[in-house]
Structure 1
Amino acid sequence: MKKVASIPTAIPLIIGIIAVSFSSIFVKWSSAPASIQGMYRLFFTALLMLPFIRPHLAELKSLSLKKTFMLFASGFFLALHFLLWMGSLKLTTVSSSTIILALEPVFIVIGAFFIYKERTSAFAMFGMGVAIIGAVLIGWGDIGVSRTNLIGDLLSVFGTLAVSVHMLIGQKMVKQVSSYVYSFVVFLSATIVFALYNLIDGVSFTGYSGKDWGIFLLLAVVPTVFGHLLFNWLLQYVSATTISMSILGEPVGASLLAFVLLGEQMTWFQIIGGLLAISGLILFLNADRMKWTSKRKRDVEPLKSVS
């Protein structure tokens, strides 16, 4: 496992997983439309970042038209992800909606292979397979049980595809701009996309309860600042595939939180699936170390035979 400075990468990854696990709970608690939740979530996040933007103003002003377009594209797909995925939570359960996020690493591995020629080791693929099987088990008993649920499931699938595109663009862009500038411009772009969508659709920007405004702020601070912003920063050190695999922990955390806070029941399939997802995640995140250990053994064994 790589390190970020002197901190193991697993630590910020785990913090991010816990943070994004709260996202579906907050969405369920709010009665506001998904497009409004998404807009204010990202708007408040951008506002929270403003006090720290001064050291990055020169970089912002020097952004080329091409880079600005790519950052806006990333923001567009992030907004599309939130719109579809948060909308799915209005139609199906937390476990069903978050389980489909397990498709994200599949989309990203395929995309990274064709776009960046990025290869994934067999050991990492095995860990990914175990995690995905576990994630599927979490929502097995609930996916597609009714027409409404099916629509919710489909929204989550397309939302997962959208966030995969967002992550693949991000993997390239954080090598060209600082992670702070990347996150700020992407969040601001996504806010603009949401605002235009709400204007066109005639969705009111005001008139929401104090509880809803509190949830909008919670969505900005917890899953966005300590989740997405943290993941964007980590793209400097690990691949989009690793980030997406880590997010497989979200169905586990979200399902547990839904059980405790929303009263959504968990079956034995979901419990076993959660354990498998965590195990697969551990295998994937340690793939590089296991590969290094195996290579070291091969290098050492011939020396033993000589002695």
Structure 2
Amino acid sequence: MNQQKPPIPVAIPLFIGITAISFSSIFVKWSDSPVSIQAMYRLMITMLLMLPFCFKYIPELRKFTGADIVKLVASGTMLAVHFLLWMGSLQWTSVANSTIILALQPLFVMIGAYILFKEKTSLSAIAGMGIAFIGVFLLIGKGGLSGGGTHLKGDLMSLFGTMAVAVHMLLGQMVLKRIPPFLYSWFVFAFASIFLAAYNGLSGIPMTGYPPREWGIFLLLAIVPTVFGHLLFNWLMRYSSASTVSMSVLGEPVGASLLAFILLNETMNGLQVAGGAIVMLGLILFLYVRPSRTTSEEAVAGLSEV
């Protein structure tokens, strides 16, 4: 499909989107609320902001099948699990480690696409995947040693959270062949919110009574990284290739680490810098060597749904 001509240079919304998603981990660190509450209200507020634009998609609801609804529920559940694990990881490890590990999304999507769709990839992409995982092992190994086990717990939570969002993307890719992306996003956010509300209720976590500062952070999480980040990437997909948008996963760790240094006084040691650089090198190799828009690449572009 030929790309439309964008009304503004692609670099401008791409830079805005990368900057916006880089703030996500900062807001999570600033909040004193349970991560399940942050995630629930982030999604609920985003749903409310999206609602006025959903009405034009009402005729599309007739296309929904029972299988579509099952996949939407499963995708929303995996998104909720991702938020619980990844946002929770920030309580135990650094912003740099957590976001660098999160950048492994494309690799897990590729593995899932091979298992589910028998999609093959090149040896160069596999080599890039191997290089990236070596970098992650350096990050996790150093974190576990230097943090007395607490950093290791956070790194592993981020890793499992990244696996969960890869499953969410792959499920979404199946449904997006039949449902508009905007409508898909709204329903996935809805099912994820329901899951998180049930989790909070069963865990005895209060859903009200938070101070105005916390509600301000919930609003920031919805507007900045979600609307001006991930939903902006949805819009950008109309004017740019999936590979270009998927490269934003490389910008988030850089932006988030820089913001964490400025706003949270977080620093990285030499081994963490080396591990992060190796992860970025592997991901660049992985994302650039694929010649065409494959199922996994489309799913990677689905990070705009997260």
TM-score by length of 1: 0.81
What does residue range 35-50 of structure 1 map to in structure 2 within 5 Å? 35-50=36-51
Once residues 222 and 266 of structure 2 are traced to their aligned partners in structure 1, the CA distance between those partners, rounded to angstroms, is 24
Counterpart contact for 1:128–1:245, Cα < 8 Å: no
Once residues 219 and 201 of structure 1 are traced to their aligned partners in structure 2, the CA distance between those partners, rounded to angstroms, is 23
1:55 is matched with: 56
| Larger Rg computed on CA atoms | 1
Counterpart contact for 1:38–1:83, Cα < 8 Å: yes
Quote the offset at 1:266 in angstroms: 2.6
**Most deviating of 179-188 and 143-152:** 143-152
Once residues 191 and 270 of structure 1 are traced to their aligned partners in structure 2, the CA distance between those partners, rounded to angstroms, is 34
Secondary structure in structure 2 of the residue aligned to 1:5: coil
Which residue identity is paired with 1:262?
A: L
Counterpart contact for 1:111–1:168, Cα < 8 Å: yes
Once residues 287 and 61 of structure 1 are traced to their aligned partners in structure 2, the CA distance between those partners, rounded to angstroms, is 39
1:161 is matched with: 163
Which residue identity is paired with 2:65?
A: S
Quote the offset at 1:205 in angstroms: 1.1
Once residues 47 and 226 of structure 1 are traced to their aligned partners in structure 2, the CA distance between those partners, rounded to angstroms, is 15
Q: Does 1:264 align with 2:262?
A: no
**Most deviating of 9-18 and 52-61:** 9-18
Once residues 213 and 263 of structure 2 are traced to their aligned partners in structure 1, the CA distance between those partners, rounded to angstroms, is 16
Quote the offset at 1:62 in angstroms: 4.0
2:125 is matched with: 124
Once residues 241 and 171 of structure 2 are traced to their aligned partners in structure 1, the CA distance between those partners, rounded to angstroms, is 14
Q: Which runs of 5+ in 1 are unaligned?
A: 291-307
Q: Which runs of 5+ in 2 are unaligned?
A: 293-306
Quote the offset at 1:6 in angstroms: 2.7
**Most deviating of 61-70 and 222-231:** 222-231
Secondary structure in structure 1 of the residue aligned to 2:61: helix
Once residues 289 and 10 of structure 1 are traced to their aligned partners in structure 2, the CA distance between those partners, rounded to angstroms, is 22
Once residues 257 and 142 of structure 1 are traced to their aligned partners in structure 2, the CA distance between those partners, rounded to angstroms, is 20
Secondary structure in structure 2 of the residue aligned to 1:247: helix
Which residue identity is paired with 2:4?
A: A
Quote the offset at 1:246 in angstroms: 4.1
Which residue identity is paired with 2:264?
A: L
Counterpart contact for 1:245–1:284, Cα < 8 Å: no
**Most deviating of 206-215 and 16-25:** 16-25
2:206 is matched with: 204
What does residue range 152-231 of structure 1 map to in structure 2 within 5 Å? 152-230=154-232
Once residues 237 and 168 of structure 2 are traced to their aligned partners in structure 1, the CA distance between those partners, rounded to angstroms, is 12
Percentage identity across paired residues of the two chains? 55
Which residue identity is paired with 2:22?
A: S
Once residues 244 and 146 of structure 1 are traced to their aligned partners in structure 2, the CA distance between those partners, rounded to angstroms, is 34
**Most deviating of 263-272 and 179-188:** 263-272
TM-score by length of 2: 0.81
1:6 is matched with: 5
Q: Does 1:72 align with 2:112?
A: no
Which residue identity is paired with 1:194?
A: L
Quote the offset at 1:74 in angstroms: 0.5
Number of aligned residues? 288
Secondary structure in structure 2 of the residue aligned to 1:286: helix
Quote the offset at 1:85 in angstroms: 1.0
Once residues 17 and 24 of structure 2 are traced to their aligned partners in structure 1, the CA distance between those partners, rounded to angstroms, is 11
**Selected match of 2:256 from 232, 254, 257:** 254
Deviations 1:179-228 (A, max 9, x none): 01110100111111111111111111111121111111111112222333
Quote the offset at 1:136 in angstroms: 5.9
**Most deviating of 88-97 and 77-86:** 88-97
Quote the offset at 1:121 in angstroms: 2.5
